[in-house]
Structure 1
């Protein structure tokens, strides 16, 4: 019978009568017990996802027909979350969520969760040594691995497209002449995608820029709207977006995201996909304009509270000194 043993020889000596007497010890060890398993190095920089965020496996799911999807999102003539057709989800906003960033904001719109961080202006590395009279904005749009059901792809085209739309929405609102030949970095991280991620990112990015103290002409707010089966769905969820952007529909369907400047009454970005007539687009634009105005008082109240807190802290510091 063959034993799985290791024999270890150890040579030692003892001093006796001024002579060194060497002897050898043979140790029999079980190989399974002596093998030191290498422990995996723990990644201390990795940020764990929130406990409430569901994890989805990328697998082949049974495809549903258009009628089945429509019956799912409009069950009983109403939306899944019991909202009215032209009712947006409640918004939660918070500042200073990232300590290392100059300005940051966190936004929740239902199950959609987005974090935006803004960093100090840095000098643009220009190889041709050309001087830019206006500053630049660098926008990065990333989905967390657990944010959506779709498989994570490096250098995703969708992320680049969303980053470009975010940049176009923010450029008219930022006073770029204030940081000539410099660049402001804006990073968007989608924690959970349940629809309207671009609108949420634009609203949070505008608030984060204000939190960073970067001069702005006006506040930026954004809202999305979808249309399907002659029904207008304001602030659609992910399932509603998937149905409204189906390519096999002959009737009007699609998705619109619009960002606007409140005081200047200007549209900074208009993103649209689907099949809609000009009259439908004009009608949905007015709906989006009204919902963008409803978000402004929330942002104003948050900024006012920030100024009050900073004043109170400075007064308390003077009293203590």
Structure 2
């Protein structure tokens, strides 16, 4: 849509004018404070090497800032990009200073899978064998970065590498929170900056891919759009999964999707918000589980507890 270079180009960044360098057939970007692109220099094609199309685009006729409104998708940048690369470097790369020994990999894999029984259905997937890392979904890398990684990596990685991992985890937690992404935006930006500066020290230059570079622009995106979740591709991926379920055979795929969507719009969704008592009530009158649109609470682990946050009124102390 923008007619610019792809992620393998030297001047591919849509946010700043940093020029990458090619190393071992890979484009890398060392962390540097380069000037940001502006709407005006985009129109004027100031950076000729950034554009594939030198003539004006249809999208430039719209009254928008083409640099600001095109947000980076953190799902691909962080989870399918940086987090996947980190996890892969620990367990797949051999004979490097950051590679894990086979005993540590087995220990990590065992502990990672052992917590599956404690993962409630709020998470899309349970932890599985790390041998399947190439088939991990973005939600699995998200769970590892934000929740389980802090636990299972504590006694596996060196202290320096573990703290380095926590920097990325904490930065993402800040930028994914609707309030913190504004109030603590500078903190997240500094965490990401230090994370990027330490990548070539703890790992090597080949880790500084375009995804790594894009981390440096996420804090600025969150200041403009709010929580990174508001601009992620997760909703589109989820919708795509629902659309695929509408297809039952390989012929006339568009017609199948159209017919199923029409049926849904006509008949609607008749699921109730609370499941029927017949399936939940027990002999003593208590419920075995309660399911609503927003949560699932059961008498069986791991759905048998719920964290309730006590809110405080403005100007009062939390006791």
TM-score bracket for the superposition, by shorter chain length: under 0.3
- Choose 1 or 2 for highest CA Rg: 1
Question: Could you say which structure has the higher strand fraction?
Answer: 1
Question: Could you say which structure has the higher helix fraction?
Answer: 2
